[in-house]
Structure 1
Amino acid sequence: MLPLLSTQEINEAFGNIIEEISNVHHSFLKLTDYILRTYIEEELFSRSFWNLVDLVDIQPKTNNHIEGYHGELNSHYQTRPSL
């Protein structure tokens, strides 16, 4: 979910995620610590690298176009040839 939020909303949303997920099981805290260190606090990868909010209206929302292309290719070839 974080890559689809604006950069101003990421810190608050991640805080909410930590709050909710820590109530589920304590082992999730290892994951949230890793994400916090790598993407939020120290930013090993800059937010502009992994944040996709600017692409939401540009890129297709589903992979239907890929499935359609794949289906078209399969219609031209026998997928289970008899030997």
Structure 2
Amino acid sequence: MSAITVRLIMPDRWLEHVAELSADTTVADAKAFGIREMLQRSSDDPADFYTEFAERRIRDETRTLADVGIGARGVLSIRAYDLGHYAPFRG
């Protein structure tokens, strides 16, 4: 598939990274890439973060950017789980 320009943001930390990613990149891979690029370290666990597109949480991060509807100049928000947004229970 073709490459698209995606704006990866961490609004709670005022961080942003613009990247060329393939439209068939999974949301999970885009999230992991964005975390590494914006935080400049590889020690953060992507499972500690969730993603949003158009202010809606993406629950199935195995979907591709194209499946979710992120096109050229799309914005993917990466947010840490916190008191207002709990991580899924993995009992």
Please give the range of the TM-score, normalised by the shorter of the 2 chains: under 0.3
CA radius of gyration, larger in: 1
Whose relative contact order is higher, 1 or 2, with alpha carbons under 8 Å and at least 6 apart?
A: 2
Normalised TM-score (structure 1): 0.27
Q: TM-score of the superposition, structure 2-length normalised?
A: 0.25
More strand by share: 2
